[in-house]
Homo-oligomer: A and B are copies of this chain.
Amino acid sequence: VDCIVMDCDGVLWQGDTLLPGVRESIQLLREMGKRLVFVTNNSNKSRRQYVHKFEKLGIFVEKEEVFSAAFAAAAYLKTQKFAKKAMVIGGQGIVDELNEMYLEVDPGVFNAVQCTEMDWEELDIDPDCGAVIVGQDTSFTYAKLAYASLAIQRGAVFVATNPDAGDAIGPGLMPGAGAIVAAVEKASGVSPEIYAGKPSAFLLELLKGNRVDMARTLVVGDRLDTDIAFGRAGGAGATVLTLSGVCGLEDVDAAMEEGGDIPNHIVQSLPHMLGL
C-alpha cells in the first residue's frame, strides 16, 4: 500500500474536536512514506478552508491532498467544460472552489427567505444560470428552493455534492445534503445528474487523474454507504472501517445480511489501525 485515502469527520475529528492519537497517526504515516489523501463528503468547506482547519488542529496538509465534495462538485462542472453560471445551495466552500476554477456564480436569491406566489410569478432566473449545485446549507430557504427548482426546470444541470441524509452530531442526526437534495429533486421533478462526493465514480476518476492507484490504496472511513462503498467500487487494496464515527458493528452485521458493502478490516479508531 502506497497511499491512504482517509475520511475526515468521524475518523480524524468530530465537529471541531480532534480524536485522540490522530496527530501521531498522521505523523507515523508520513514517516512511513505513505501518500495521504483526505476525502470528505462535507460540502461546506473548500480545500483551502480544510487546510486551515487541519492547521488549527496542529496538523499540516497541502491543499492538493484534500478532496472535498465542494471541490468535487466544482471540478465536475470544470471537466464538463461548463461555461455558464452556477447557483449554489450550500456553504461558502463551494463558491470558493468555483471561483478558484474561474467559474461564475449566480447569486440567485441569496438573501431572501420567503417566496410568495407573487414573488414566484415574477421570479427572474438569470438566463446564464446553467447549473445548480446542492449541498448541505445551514441557511437553506424556500426562496432558494424555488429559484433552484425553476432554474432546473429550465434546463440547468443539477449537481448534488453528496447523498448523506445527516451527520450524527450531539443530539441526533443533523440534516445533511441529502435532505436538501431531496427537496430540490421533488420540487423540480429532476434527479441529480451526479453526486460528486463519495461513493461517486466521478470522484474515483478525479483521484485517478491525480495519480492515485486505487489498487495500492487503503481506504479508511466511518461510513459503510459512502466510505467503504467508495473503496470497494474503486477496487481499493483494502478498506478499513473505524468505529469512531457514524457506523457501529451492528451496521456491519446488517450490511452482511443485506448484501451491502463490508470493510476488509474493522478498528476502533485510526490509531488502533496503526497499533498506536
Contacts and interface: CB of A to CB of B under 8 A. Distances in A.
A142 B142 contact: no
Given A113-B113, A113-B139, A176 B170 contact: no
A73 B15 CA distance: 38
Given A117-B15, A141-B141, A142-B137, A172 B154 contact: yes
Number of copies: 2
A137 B113 CA distance: 11
Given A115-B138, A140-B141, A141-B141, A123 B171 contact: yes
Interface in A79-133: 113-117, 120-121, 123
A173 B145 contact: no
Interface in A169-214: 169-176, 178-189
B120 A170 contact: yes
Contact of A187 (B123, B149, B166, B189): B166
Interface residues of A, number: 43
Contacts of A139: 113-114, 141-142
A183 B189 contact: no
B186 A174 contact: no
A173 B188 contact: yes
A245 to B, nearest CB: 15
A184 B186 CA distance: 12
A166 B181 CA distance: 16
A121 B186 contact: no
Contacts of A142: 137-141, 175, 180
Nearest to A124: B171
Contacts of A61: none
B141 A165 contact: no
Contacts of A140: 141-142, 145
A15 B118 CA distance: 9
Interface string A152-170: 0110000000000110011
A229 interface: no
Contacts of A184: 179
A179 B186 contact: yes
Interface of A: 15, 113-117, 120-121, 123, 137-142, 145-146, 149-150, 153-154, 165-166, 169-176, 178-189
